[in-house]
Amino acid sequence: MATKKTVFVLFGATGDLARRMVLPAFYTLAIEGLLPEDWVLVGNGRGDVAHEDFRKHVHDVLVEFGPHPDRGPWKEFEQRLYFAGGGFDTDSPGSLLDVIGEARRRVGARAQLVHYLAVPPVTFPELTKALGQHGLAKGARVVYEKPFGTSPKGFRSLNRIVHSVLDESQVYRIDHFLGKEATQNLHVLRFANELFAAMWNRDHIESVQIDVPEDLGVDDRAGFYDATGAVLDMLVTHLFQVAAEVAMEPPETLTAPDLQSARERVIRAFRPLDPAEVVLGQFDGYRKVKGIEPRSTTDTYVAAKLWIDNPRWQGVPFLLRTGKRMAVSEQRVTVVLRTPQGPLKGLPGQANALSFSLAGNGEIALSLLAKKPGIELHLESATVKLPLAELPDAEPLPPYVRLIHDVLLGDRSLFTRPDGLSAAWRTVQPILDNPPRLHKYAQDSMGPAAAKKLAAPHGWLLGQ
């Protein structure tokens, strides 16, 4: 449990991200008894909103997105919600300084300040400068949503600004895929079980598929998405970070510095993407979505073959795929084992695989070939599954709940570092400089046909 007295400042408190993710996560922490012993949440925005009106807004958010206020200590919770209007920038702090002063009088002058920037990335530089300008940076923890920069140049500029105001130890760059229970098992299962640790290399692994198709569209955030696209929204963020979780060398410990270093070190071994091994797509009808430019060339789909240039992974393709309006919604990592050479001939490819579902509470599955009971030697493929939530005394937390709790504890293990992000931008630079052709694909499909050759000779495991 986080024990410090805390003032949690939520920038963009009435925006979509706060409504869908941050406020429900914060209330979940209250239900679970995981908030600090004394705390206040200060919402910030441009509007002039009374504390009572903000409390009603949060109540309505929880009714819509859960957990329902009736499920937890709502009466006590709402009294700790404040709102500071008038915006916040280098020219004016609005009412934020006054409201933080009011909050500190309630919980203590030395309360830990946590700033959560649930705002568009374009506002990060100005808000960061304003935190320094108005004396709110010293000793504070600052959470930045992804993407941290929207281009290699933008990343470098933002990183310089952040480090001119904050020490790196104060910075929490969030990637909620790292907060997923099954994502953490990508390294825990391997390091805790010699069976998997021994085979985790190019001699035994044929390929790795990281597949995150989505059946949802972009209607609820068309403006943001049309300025971003699948490469920036998913590939350079979530998919690269998950690939690093799979591919990292064993760290000395699972403490934050060692775990972060192992993850960032392997990202530096990512080979820059070859545009010939990347397929971009846009679903039919995308340009007709309200808020999308009529001639938009934004990618809503990307499939890429990633190579890692180190001894463990040399020659093993990491196949990454994500897209909108696809036939299924999945978040799956599959480690495909090589087909054994030996007395059994004609074995099917990709029959032996270790799979991690990152959706929900997570699931681990092992697919293998076994003899079908009977007189003849007939092999059948079988899969055993372990839903993580069914482990004894399991208490799974949704990723935003876990990550906000880690911020309150001061644990940076599951947050990204600038050296890894710099390497990620370097990896994706070739397709930003020389974008591949944009393919159209039908809604409710598995994307452009051109992506099939990336997974040759066997193909993608999902959607076959």
- The pLDDT tens digits for 158-186 are 999 999 999 999 999 999 999 888 888 88
pLDDT of residue 347: 75
pLDDT of residue 138: 97
Determine whether the annotation assigns residue 12 to a binding site. Answer: yes
pLDDT of residue 23: 98
Give pLDDT tens digits for 25-43. 999 999 999 999 999 999 9
Determine whether the annotation assigns residue 137 to a binding site. Answer: no
Q: Read off the pTM.
A: 0.92
Determine whether the annotation assigns residue 214 to a binding site. Answer: yes
Determine whether the annotation assigns residue 146 to a binding site. Answer: yes
Q: What pairing do the DSSP bridges indicate for beta strands 278-283 and 301-306? A: antiparallel
Q: Is it true that domain 6-145 has CATH number 3.40.50.720?
A: yes
**What distance in Å separates the CA atoms of residue 15 and residue 315, rounded to the nearest whole number?**
44
Determine whether the annotation assigns residue 13 to a binding site. Answer: yes
Q: Is 238 a catalytic residue?
A: yes
364 DSSP 8-state letter = E
Determine whether the annotation assigns residue 16 to a binding site. Answer: yes
Kindly name the residue from 57, 115, 238, 405 that is annotated as catalytic. 238
Q: Which of the residues in the chain have pLDDT under 70?
A: 1-3, 464
Q: What's the 3-state SS for the chain?
A: CCCCCEEEEEECCCCHHHHHHHHHHHHHHHHCCCCCCCEEEEEECCCCCCHHHHHHHHHHHHHHHCCCHHHCCHHHHHCCEEEECCCCCCCCCCCHHHHHHHHHHHHCCCCEEEEEECCCHHHHHHHHHHHHHCCCCCCCEEEECCCCCCCHHHHHHHHHHHHHHCCHHHEEECCHHHHCHHHHHHHHHHHHCHHHHHHCCCCCEEEEEEEEECCCCCHHHHHHHHCCHHHHHHHHHHHHHHHHHHHCCCCCCCCHHHHHHHHHHHHCCECCCCHHHEEEEEECCHHHCCCCCCCCCCCCEEEEEECECCCCCCCCCEEEEEECCECCCCCEEEEEECCCCCCCCCCCCCCCEEEEECCCCCEEEEEEEEECCCCCCCEEEEEEEEEHHHCCCCCCCCHHHHHHHHHHHCCCCCCECHHHHHHHHHHHHHHHHCCCCEEEECCCECCCHHHHHHHCCCCCCCCC
Domain ranges, ordered by start, for the chain: 6-145, 177-398+410-455
pLDDT of residue 3: 57
* Both tokens assigned to 38: 């004394």
pLDDT of residue 393: 80
Determine whether the annotation assigns residue 324 to a binding site. Answer: yes
Determine whether the annotation assigns residue 138 to a binding site. Answer: no
Determine whether the annotation assigns residue 17 to a binding site. Answer: yes
Domains 6-145 and 177-398+410-455 share a fold: no
Give pLDDT tens digits for 332-368. 999 999 988 878 777 777 889 999 999 988 899 999 8
In CATH terms, 177-398+410-455 corresponds, of 3.40.630.30, 3.40.50.300, 3.30.360.10, 2.40.50.1070, to 3.30.360.10
